[in-house]
Structure 1
Amino acid sequence: MSQPITLIATAAMGLESIVKNEVKQLGYENIQTDNGRVMYESNILGIARSNLWLRTADRVKLLMGEFYAYSFEELFEQTKALPWEEWISKEGFIHVVGKSHKSKLYSVPDCQSIVKKAIVSRLQEAYSISSRLEETGARYKIEVAILKDQVTLSIDTSGSGLHKRGYRVGQGEAPLKETLAAALIQLTNWTPNDPLVDPFTGSGTIPIEAALIGQNIAPGFNREFSAEEWDVIPSSVWERALEEAEDLANYDQPLDITGSDISHQAVEIAQQNAMEAGLVDLINWKQMRVQDFVPKTEKGYLIGNPPYGERLGEKDTVEEIYKALGSIMSSYPKWSVYIMTSYKEFEKCYGQSATKKRKLFNGFIQTNYYQYFGKK
């Protein structure tokens, strides 16, 4: 299959531009950015490379078709007109999910059922099968998404979301998604030669993602993807993508990354996760209160996702932490500080206005990413 294909990398709100940059770095072109998605032209190898390398995307989908539909009949006929047999084997297990917004076809269960019938009908004709499809083979998760009567049909190539890197054996109370942690790092000017500290490390996600970025290790190297089961993609394609990832990794790059937390248990979990990722010797772990943090170098980067004070009775503690951090960092003007929190009074507590602020969502919580650039 040498003809071009269109892939959709889905993204959390506010991260589309970062995902777009990653797609560009992979060498793909004709990139279109929309709310929550980045579309681009690729080839079949791009399915493997995108899944292996995209650090901040949620998943990678193969675009099958886009069209307008105002009736169930139109939805059926236009779905059936697409070349499903080019991708789905005759034993393929077809699972259809859906969503509809501001459209005439608003019943999602009906839309899912009609799309499934249309695909089955197409495959029965293509494979000359008069009976029911067996559906005992590889899984194909198909999404029908309808927005203002425009239907987008895609097949999920990732399986589990891309934030599931395969290294998280334990997690704290409110774990930061790996994709968001990678985005927090990529929104800074940090380079692998700079010291990086996360004083609110929790289960270690920010230091682990920083180590993967620092040594240019593909984030998906430790897991499997659903498209690996598809007959249409030869195993040689995945082997080639993995070989490229191995060649591009820079395991000799020295790193100065530290993760600390007030909780002894959190630090233990972080160490276990780093060990699972094969990075345990690259990161320094410490049990420590933020109030006791002392930078060891004249310049560096502090990236953190501290408690937000959302729970009853936490406000005073959180304000103390922010004040202590601001007081410590005021003595180190060459350090750059990046803090994500939903706490509205953060700058007041920290004692300084941010150089820059960016709105980000941590799950469903709207936060600000406060960025303090160190003096040159």
Structure 2
Amino acid sequence: MENFFASCPRGLEPLLVEDLSAAGVAHAKQIPGGVHFSADWPACYSANLHSRIATRILWQVSRGPYLKEDDIYRQALAVPWPTWFDAGQTIRVDITALKCPLRSLEFITLRIKDALCDRFRADVGKRPSVDTREPEVRIHGFLNASECTLYIDTSGAPLYQRGLRQKTVEAPLKENVAAGILRFSGWQPGIPLLDPMCGSGTFLLEAAQMALNIAPGAGRDFGFQRLKNFRLLEWKRLLDTAMDAEKPAASAQIYGSDISPVAVRAALANLDRAGLLPAVTLRSGDLLEIDAPAVAGILVTNPPYGERLSEQDELADLYPHLGSALKRKFAGWNCYLLSADMRMPKLMRLTPSKKTPLYNGALECRLFEFKMVAGSNRR
């Protein structure tokens, strides 16, 4: 058994525990921003392949106390890095800190990199070079007030990068946040789903993958594949099993629309490239005017939330119309709106039945749940 840490957007930790349990991990311990767990390597591979919620899965290779930068250098020097990857591979070192008393995180990053290179020189006479853009091996350090933990990243590029979305419109939603919202909404394949402000199609892509039972990591590679302890046969078995479980693309009662033809074209291109277009019905349309595509279903969307005062004034005008449209056209639907604008429910004149705190990147948001019944939902 090895020790790992899986990171995720704040607010999605309980869903990440579910993902990791399904992958076969042991001793999952949830903290804000992620989950510590123990697992064997096949379970680590499976979590990378199947988790829709995780951002990265980090393998713990060292943990120890520190008082000053030299302590961290000595800790990193003691780690047998050359047993896990080659001097010819490129590296990147990243540091995260919480209540760390040391002054410069940049200097700590440099000391860890120096220690790693010194260990390589001592052991094999060569050192790896740094590539900050597309490194072959990523090393992460986490410092709290008294301890430093060092990790090797088993994921590589962040796991929300499914390798599907090429065309984006402004302020796209991260894929793992979209997947988390779909889970919180209770949506299951077979239930009609609509995103009426679909942008480049993140909700639609996630839902279509779920409906067709496509593993989110099936179309990309991972950091663990570049380590010396990579078990190719075990990975191939997991990948083959995932591929065999996929369903052929067919209509799945997933609907998307957007007032912007540019956004609809971007969503269309992304779905087409991913081979998911048959599962989704797309059209241009204004949320205030479109009809519900079914008698009942789930509506999920990420409406704009203005950062400038002029935009906020425009949204204050939009929200009452939005509330009216939902009451008029979507009786029988459960609606989930993610927004950083806390004024939204009041201005929509609707009372949310639930408000779930979530983060999209650094932005604190709320997932507002509105259960639309016939008649009025006003306070």
Question: Which stretch of the first structure deviates more once superposed, 232-241 or 260-269?
Answer: 232-241
Counterpart residue type for residue 305 of structure 1? N
Instruction: Name 1:349's counterpart in structure 2.
Output: 347
> Which of 224, 231, 236 does residue 234 from structure 1 map onto?
231
Write the mapping of 1:1-376 to structure 2, written as runs, cut at 5 A. 4-124=1-121, 127=123, 129=124, 131-133=125-127, 139-251=136-248, 255-331=252-328, 332-373=330-371
After TM superposition, give the deviation of residue 198 of structure 1 in Å.
Answer: 0.4
Flag structure 1 segments of 5+ consecutive residues without an equivalent.
none
Q: Deviations over 1:293-318 (max 9, x none)?
A: 21132210000101113334333542
Cα distance in structure 1, aligned partners of 2:202 and 2:212 = 16
Cα distance in structure 2, aligned partners of 1:136 and 1:109 = 15
Counterpart residue type for residue 363 of structure 1? G
Flag structure 2 segments of 5+ consecutive residues without an equivalent.
375-379
Cα distance in structure 1, aligned partners of 2:247 and 2:346 = 41
Contact 1:111–1:144 (Cα < 8 Å) also in 2: no
Residues 248 and 29 from structure 1, CA distance in 2 versus in 1: closer, same or farther, beyond 3 angstroms? farther
After TM superposition, give the deviation of residue 152 of structure 1 in Å.
Answer: 1.2
After TM superposition, give the deviation of residue 274 of structure 1 in Å.
Answer: 0.5
Cα distance in structure 2, aligned partners of 1:233 and 1:173 = 38
After TM superposition, give the deviation of residue 79 of structure 1 in Å.
Answer: 2.9
Cα distance in structure 2, aligned partners of 1:282 and 1:134 = 45
Residues 174 and 124 from structure 1, CA distance in 2 versus in 1: closer, same or farther, beyond 3 angstroms? same
After TM superposition, give the deviation of residue 105 of structure 1 in Å.
Answer: 3.4
Residues 183 and 136 from structure 1, CA distance in 2 versus in 1: closer, same or farther, beyond 3 angstroms? closer
Partner SS, residue 307 of structure 1: coil
Contact 2:56–2:158 (Cα < 8 Å) also in 1: yes
Residues 234 and 90 from structure 1, CA distance in 2 versus in 1: closer, same or farther, beyond 3 angstroms? farther
Residues 191 and 73 from structure 1, CA distance in 2 versus in 1: closer, same or farther, beyond 3 angstroms? same
After TM superposition, give the deviation of residue 252 of structure 1 in Å.
Answer: 6.7
Counterpart residue type for residue 370 of structure 1? F
Cα distance in structure 2, aligned partners of 1:23 and 1:134 = 32
Counterpart residue type for residue 277 of structure 2? V
Q: Deviations over 1:232-283 (max 9, x none)?
A: 2033233122112113333377510111000011100000000111101110
Q: Deviations over 1:144-201 (max 9, x none)?
A: 2211121110011222211211111211111111111111111111111110000010
Contact 1:58–1:163 (Cα < 8 Å) also in 2: yes
After TM superposition, give the deviation of residue 374 of structure 1 in Å.
Answer: 5.4
- RMSD over aligned CA atoms reads 2.4
Cα distance in structure 2, aligned partners of 1:12 and 1:100 = 17
How many residue pairs get matched?
370
Counterpart residue type for residue 188 of structure 2? T
Counterpart residue type for residue 7 of structure 1? F
Cα distance in structure 2, aligned partners of 1:52 and 1:198 = 26
Cα distance in structure 1, aligned partners of 2:20 and 2:322 = 36
Partner SS, residue 356 of structure 2: strand
Counterpart residue type for residue 31 of structure 1? A
Q: Deviations over 1:189-221 (max 9, x none)?
A: 111111000001000111111111222211111
Cα distance in structure 2, aligned partners of 1:204 and 1:242 = 26
Residues 182 and 149 from structure 1, CA distance in 2 versus in 1: closer, same or farther, beyond 3 angstroms? same
Residues 174 and 95 from structure 1, CA distance in 2 versus in 1: closer, same or farther, beyond 3 angstroms? closer
Contact 1:5–1:43 (Cα < 8 Å) also in 2: yes
Counterpart residue type for residue 206 of structure 2? E
TM-score (norm 2): 0.89
Cα distance in structure 1, aligned partners of 2:302 and 2:278 = 23
TM-score (norm 1): 0.90
Residues 75 and 181 from structure 1, CA distance in 2 versus in 1: closer, same or farther, beyond 3 angstroms? same
Counterpart residue type for residue 132 of structure 1? K
After TM superposition, give the deviation of residue 366 of structure 1 in Å.
Answer: 1.9
Partner SS, residue 166 of structure 2: coil
Contact 2:357–2:366 (Cα < 8 Å) also in 1: yes
Cα distance in structure 1, aligned partners of 2:210 and 2:363 = 26
After TM superposition, give the deviation of residue 112 of structure 1 in Å.
Answer: 2.4
Residues 352 and 114 from structure 1, CA distance in 2 versus in 1: closer, same or farther, beyond 3 angstroms? same
Contact 1:199–1:259 (Cα < 8 Å) also in 2: yes
Residues 344 and 100 from structure 1, CA distance in 2 versus in 1: closer, same or farther, beyond 3 angstroms? closer
